[in-house]
Amino acid sequence: MTNDTGLELVGGWPGIYWDDWMRGPEVRKGRQCVFPEVSRTFTFGAQGTSGGQFYKDHLIHMALNRHLIDWEAEDISYLQTDKYDKALAARVNAATTITPDQIPGMPHGKDARVTYADEKAFEKIAKDRLKGIMQDARGGVQRASYKGVVQVKHNGAVLFLVPASYTGTL
């Protein structure tokens, strides 16, 4: 994030539900955020800004990275938009297409993708087939989505939840 973006955001930062606020179109302004492989946030108990309403079903399972990474020595150029978009699209395109009903039997270690038609379809898939992921959308944006694609670790692989509008490129 650039300093200018940080300064823009800090002025309106809410006291609670900042993650919902960040997904609002007036804040996002078409911007995207890459999906972190390991969350850099952690909750240490049921009481917090959401009043504990999500702790048991979602937040209790979060884990912190326990491996030291020298980020100054890492080549993170793959996170540049053009490179990231191409790499993610290649992974989504290479994944086996399955239906929501096939999620429980998804082959171990083999990436798969499921297409969702709209927010209601996404919510149904998340609720009925993927216990533990948050189902809500704010401003048309699902939690942890990048250009509509949600990545879920499942059965030793990645399950991509892909909007019906996906054309093979990001």
Residues tagged active-site = 19
119 neighbors 140 (Cβ within 8 angstroms): yes
Concatenated DSSP letters of 60-75: GG-----S---TTTS-
Going by the DSSP 8-state scheme, the letter that residue 59 receives in this structure is G
108 neighbors 157 (Cβ within 8 angstroms): yes
In the chain, the amino acid numbered 62 is: M
